[in-house]
A and B are shown apart, each in its own frame.
Chain A
Amino acid sequence: MDSSPFGPEVAAQAQQIVARYPQSRSALLPMLHLVQSIEGHVSSVGIEFCARQLDIATAEVDAVVTFYTMYKRKPCGEHLVSVCTNTLCAVLGGDSIYAKLREYLGEDGPPAGHEETFGDPGTPGSITLEHVECLAACDLGPVIQVDYEFFDNQTVESATRLVDGLRSGDKPAPDRGAPLVGFRNAERQLAGFLDNLDADVDGPSAATETVRGAQLALDRGWTAPVMADLPLPVLPDKN
């Protein structure tokens, strides 16, 4: 299989994932992230690769792939744009943002569908649009993720600008997260291969909202009760 994108180097990385776990099958989820980092989605070739690496049936891999929303069955764009449309984000504007992006990306045709890709998948400026469930950033809603980095407090206008930026090849800076490197590179990181970790880890995270309580307490001089260093409890003698 010379044409397979899963050469010996990828197989070696797959085995590195296996080595993290007491039982090999636990490696399947991260291994599928690795597959997506190479193919931009999970194809039947990727499924066969995982099955071979773990010595399980392709049907077993397939069952897992179809269960989790982050595994994409069709080739994705350079960037994955995920709009939260769960109730709270939706009420604050998430539904409008998603509707606008569907229309905007659909141009003269029908509005974009869920997980529809614009541009040739994987080529610079191509985008896959999806709506997603709660992203656990409700104090910052409405939120959008691009390649799983956070863009907070979005509006229809800011979301449209964001998409324009992605399509023109700019890499808009996330509010929380590391600089954008594309969907495939994000997937590689989720497989545990964090090639630029020392720099990426310092990407911003403390939004105003995140530290609001801590800041208010500081401003007002409020603290938790003083911590005295007390010994561990003495247990009754078993004898």
Chain B
Amino acid sequence: MTESSVDPLTPVLTKRWLSPRSWRLSVYEQLEGYTALRKALGGTPEQLVQLVKDSGLRGRGGAGFPAGVKWSFMPPNEDKPHYLVINADEGEPGTCKDIPLMMADPHSLIEGCVIASYAMRSHHCFIYVRGEALHCYRRLVSAVQEAYAAGYLGTDILGSGYYLDITVHAGAGAYICGEETALLDSLEGLRGQPRLKPPFPAAAGLYAKPTTVNNVETIASVPFIVNAGSDWFRSMGREKSPGPKIFSVSGHVERPGQYEAPMGTTLRELLELSGGMKDGIPLKFWTPGGSSTPMFTAEHMDVPLDFEGAAEAGSMLGTTAVQVFNETVSVPWAVMKWTQFYEHESCGKCTPCREGTYWLAKILERMIAGQGTAEDIDTMLDICDNIFGRSFCALGDGAVSPIVSGIKYFKDEFLALCQQQDAGPAQRHELAGAR
């Protein structure tokens, strides 16, 4: 099948969402549910790892690491217990795909968990779901109970001899726990702070045992790949970024929502699907995959939204959280709001991020209050330079994305905010934060 023959929307993960009570096992079983598990248990773990490698499935949590390769890092023996941990701590600003997925179709995640656990020789899987997602937690707990009762979990699954337990775990409000090693610390009952890598989780993860952490959308894709094969998966999307992807379109568009389209779909196409800009007010800036991905402008409408396309255009695919902002929105204001978020969510472990986000927020607040100077822009870029690549985890890198990209594309707007101050006869050199 050629790329051009693929429809603009390719519902795979979202195809059951319209079914009444799609979260119930009885409905899931009527819609091919758990057929992939039967097939997977008839094969070997090695075959499944190979299949996922062949499919080219890349992590849907933002980083895009090839899932099959990640799985292959797990030791081939079972000298120690192995764990699969699902990162369901969705909270990247703009991102809203995993929670609807788990609410509408929790069994697709559970089935994916059983297959992935089998492939990685794990017998205990944890789903770490953010605490604020209570209804989602409920749906998962219920689905796990149904799966146990039907023999898809527990001992001797479907007569294969394979056994697996799943524990659904509610977090308690901390964006940083979406970072995989912080998530593991949190799951161990600690403050959620990232760990030094190496050792990587596959060597020493949860309880210092071999562990793989995967995103919800990644694992929910696995049953479909098992059923239809890697070529089918690759018939959607692009060569290095294959498959369908849930694009979460939000903000100033006529019909915001979840649109599952092939990887490589552009903003122009997404806007067509979602009814265009709200009230016809022109686009100003947008994020391809959450606030941690450098912003784009109207110039980037035709950038193919896959891992390579977004990176070549100077951003990242992230979580395909497409937040759309029209001309009425002030970029420095939006950047300030995002920076306040990173300041709040910085875990405090490393100095560049803890101190940097604090001062960046203070400078931006001062600027928005009309008391910034042009020099502040250079100061911010200097701070960003000292955070990027120098902080302990990716939160720091994410925190500088809105600032650096905002100044790159909309420096005039920052300068305009400062003009009044620079032109004043007696400049007040009030220190940021000195209140």
Minimum C-beta distance from B217 to chain A (A): 13
Q: Which residues of B contact A156 (CB under 8 A)?
A: none
Contact: B47 with A224, CB < 8 Å?
Answer: no
Q: Which of A30-76 contact B (CB under 8 A)?
A: 30, 32-33, 54, 63-64, 67-71
Which residue of A71, A203, A217, A220 has the most chain B CB atoms within 10 A of its CB atom? A217
**Which of A2-10, A86-94, A103-111, A159-167 interfaces with chain B?**
A86-94
Q: Which residues of A contact B248 (CB under 8 A)?
A: 138-139
Known: A225-B235, A227-B224. A29 touches B171 (CB 8 A): yes
Minimum C-beta distance from A96 to chain B (A): 14
Q: Per a CB cutoff under 8 Å, which of A86, A186, A198, A218 touches B337?
A: A86
Q: Which residues of B contact A1 (CB under 8 A)?
A: none
Known: A64-B190, A209-B258. A232 touches B338 (CB 8 A): no
A217 to B329, CA, bound (A): 31
Contact: B133 with A136, CB < 8 Å?
Answer: yes
Give the nearest-CB partner of A205 in chain B. B103
Q: Per a CB cutoff under 8 Å, which of A88, A214, A228 touches B250?
A: A88
Which residue of B172, B175, B226 has the most chain A CB atoms within 10 A of its CB atom? B172
Contact: A91 with B17, CB < 8 Å?
Answer: no
Query: For the complex, is A189 an interface residue (Cβ under 8 Å from B)?
Result: yes
Per-position contact with B for A10-42: 1 when CB-CB < 8 Å, else 0?
000000000011110111111011000000000
Query: For the complex, is B300 an interface residue (Cβ under 8 Å from A)?
Result: no
Q: Per a CB cutoff under 8 Å, which of A22, A149, A202, A217 touches B21?
A: A202
Contact: A229 with B227, CB < 8 Å?
Answer: yes
Known: A33-B172, A205-B104. A213 touches B257 (CB 8 A): yes
Q: Per a CB cutoff under 8 Å, which of B39, B54, B138, B227 touches A197?
A: B138
Known: A23-B207, A87-B341, A134-B91. A232 touches B226 (CB 8 A): yes
Q: Per a CB cutoff under 8 Å, which of B39, B142, B231, B334 touches A91?
A: B334
A23 to B325, CA, bound (A): 46
A97 to B271, CA, bound (A): 28
Contact: A227 with B227, CB < 8 Å?
Answer: yes
Contact: A22 with B81, CB < 8 Å?
Answer: yes
Contact: B232 with A228, CB < 8 Å?
Answer: yes
Query: For the complex, is B174 an interface residue (Cβ under 8 Å from A)?
Result: yes
A interface size (C-beta, 8 A): 84
Contact: B54 with A233, CB < 8 Å?
Answer: yes
Known: A136-B98, A192-B141, A201-B142. A214 touches B170 (CB 8 A): no
Q: Which residues of A contact B244 (CB under 8 A)?
A: 224
Contact: A88 with B142, CB < 8 Å?
Answer: no
Give the nearest-CB partner of B130 in chain A. A136
Minimum C-beta distance from B89 to chain A (A): 9
Contact: B191 with A64, CB < 8 Å?
Answer: yes
Query: For the complex, is B401 an interface residue (Cβ under 8 Å from A)?
Result: no
Query: For the complex, is A141 an interface residue (Cβ under 8 Å from B)?
Result: yes
Q: Which residues of B contact A202 (CB under 8 A)?
A: 21
Known: A87-B291, A90-B337, A92-B251. A145 touches B257 (CB 8 A): no
Give the nearest-CB partner of A85 in chain B. B337
Minimum C-beta distance from A210 to chain B (A): 5
Minimum C-beta distance from A81 to chain B (A): 13
A91 to B92, CA, bound (A): 17
Q: Which residues of B contact A218 (CB under 8 A)?
A: 18
Contact: A197 with B141, CB < 8 Å?
Answer: yes
Minimum C-beta distance from A84 to chain B (A): 10
Interface residue tally on B, bucketed by range? 35 or more
Query: For the complex, is A150 an interface residue (Cβ under 8 Å from B)?
Result: yes
Query: For the complex, is A173 an interface residue (Cβ under 8 Å from B)?
Result: no
Contact: B18 with A87, CB < 8 Å?
Answer: no
Q: Which residues of A contact B334 (CB under 8 A)?
A: 87, 91
Known: A22-B124, A230-B228. A138 touches B94 (CB 8 A): yes
Contact: B131 with A136, CB < 8 Å?
Answer: no
Which residue of A70, A197, A228, A234 has the most chain B CB atoms within 10 A of its CB atom? A70
A213 to B229, CA, bound (A): 24
**Which of B5-13, B153-161, B361-369, B386-394 interfaces with chain A?**
B5-13
Q: Which residues of B contact A134 (CB under 8 A)?
A: 91-95, 175, 341
Q: Which residues of A contact B175 (CB under 8 A)?
A: 133-134
Q: Which residues of B contact A209 (CB under 8 A)?
A: 255-258
Q: Which of B215-253 contact A (CB under 8 A)?
A: 224, 226-232, 235-236, 244, 246-251
Query: For the complex, is A148 an interface residue (Cβ under 8 Å from B)?
Result: yes
Which residue of B133, B227, B338 has the most chain A CB atoms within 10 A of its CB atom? B133
Query: For the complex, is A177 an interface residue (Cβ under 8 Å from B)?
Result: yes
Q: Which of B23-70 contact A (CB under 8 A)?
A: 23, 39-40, 42-44, 46-48, 50-51, 54
Minimum C-beta distance from B320 to chain A (A): 12
Q: Which residues of A contact B96 (CB under 8 A)?
A: 136-140
Minimum C-beta distance from B19 to chain A (A): 9
Contact: A69 with B100, CB < 8 Å?
Answer: no
Contact: A212 with B259, CB < 8 Å?
Answer: yes
A25 to B184, CA, bound (A): 12
Minimum C-beta distance from B85 to chain A (A): 11
A229 to B232, CA, bound (A): 10
Known: A68-B172, A136-B90. A217 touches B258 (CB 8 A): no
Contact: B341 with A133, CB < 8 Å?
Answer: yes
Contact: B172 with A217, CB < 8 Å?
Answer: no
A135 to B93, CA, bound (A): 8
Query: For the complex, is A158 an interface residue (Cβ under 8 Å from B)?
Result: no
Which residue of B135, B247, B258 has the most chain A CB atoms within 10 A of its CB atom? B135
Query: For the complex, is A223 an interface residue (Cβ under 8 Å from B)?
Result: yes
Contact: A133 with B142, CB < 8 Å?
Answer: no
Known A-B contacts: A29-B186, A222-B11, A230-B228. Give 6 more (CB < 8 A). A88-B250, A88-B251, A134-B91, A135-B132, A177-B134, A233-B51
Give 5 nearest A-B pairs by CB, closest first: A212-B257, A28-B189, A213-B259, A227-B228, A69-B173
Residues of B within 8 A of A (CB): 1, 6-12, 14-15, 17-18, 21-23, 39-40, 42-44, 46-48, 50-51, 54, 81, 90-96, 98-100, 103-104, 124, 130-135, 137-139, 141-142, 145, 167-175, 186-192, 207, 224, 226-232, 235-236, 244, 246-251, 255-261, 273-274, 291, 321, 323, 325, 329, 334, 337-338, 341, 344-345, 347
